[in-house]
Amino acid sequence: MSHALPLKICGLHHEEDVKHAVTSSAAFLGFVFAKSRRQVQIAEVKQWLQLAGPVNTAKIAALFVHPKIEDVVEVVEELPVSMVQLHGKESPEFVKEVKERTRLEVFKALHHDPAASSLFSPYEGIADGFIVDTKVDSAWGGTGQTFDWSYVPFYKKEAERLQVPVLIAGGVTPDNISQLLSYDPPGIDISSGLERNGKKCSAKIEQLEKRLVSDDEDIPRQ
């Protein structure tokens, strides 16, 4: 199953998660190396990927929050990472340093702010892509809370202007994906919305993919 809309399945933290994700149509498979309930270690990710078998065309993404550059380099050297995601308040200078040290794509996650019309500006020409997440004081991401999706067309225009991928994150689920698609998002990042009892659910992944394919063709745009 394939679709044109870039999909990132993030927060893979069990062997079963990886098995389900590698057979999906996701463009990115995300692992969290920052402190969180979905935090993973290098050794276990390496084992899960070996057990899951070949990853189709998906890129492996490694997520960090305020990391030491050495920690990023270690993960990149040990695992088949294609993209580094920085999900904290990392500076443009740090993003640039990570790019130089890893020679990989670096995506910057930013929290939606209705007052910030130039949200991406500090990272223009530096970040290789962006993830727009919901701002929640107690967490950097993975909260399951949405932001006002009426701003999604603005982020799509920014993606086109900068000619970089932009993924919409925060509270996306198979049940509300039709509503999000009506705003024509440039890409989708989903984590907790695909979980059941703390693990990624194959039925939910299948449900999401079916709606991405059918709804993307039929839904009227906002």
Give kind and range of the element (H or E) at residue 79: none
The domain locations on the chain are: 7-216
| 218 CB-contact burial (10 Å; exposed 0-12 / middle 13-18 / buried 19+) | exposed
Query: If we measure between CA atoms, which residue out of 108, 103, 68, 114 comes closest to residue 92?
Result: 108
- Angle made by CA atoms 91, 95, 97, in degrees to the nearest 5: 110
DSSP 82-126: EEEEE-S---HHHHHHHHHHH-SEEEEEEE--TT-TTTTGGGTTT
What pLDDT, on a 0 to 100 scale, did the predictor assign at position 132?
95
Task: Kindly give the confidence (pLDDT) of every residue in the chain, 222 residues in length, as a single tens digit, with 9 standing for 90 and above.
Answer: 445 689 999 999 999 999 999 999 999 999 999 999 999 999 999 999 999 887 778 999 999 999 999 999 999 999 999 999 999 999 999 999 999 999 999 999 999 988 777 889 999 999 999 999 987 665 544 556 799 999 999 999 999 999 999 999 999 999 999 999 999 999 999 999 999 999 999 999 999 999 888 755 555 555
Sign of the CA dihedral running 103, 98, 46, 193:
negative
Q: How, if at all, do strands 105-111 and 28-32 pair?
A: unpaired
Integer Cα distance of 208 and 185 in angstroms: 15
Distance CA 145, CA 126 (A): 28
CATH assignment, 7-216: 3.20.20.70
Assessment of whether the complete model's pTM goes beyond 0.85: yes
pLDDT value at position 1? 40
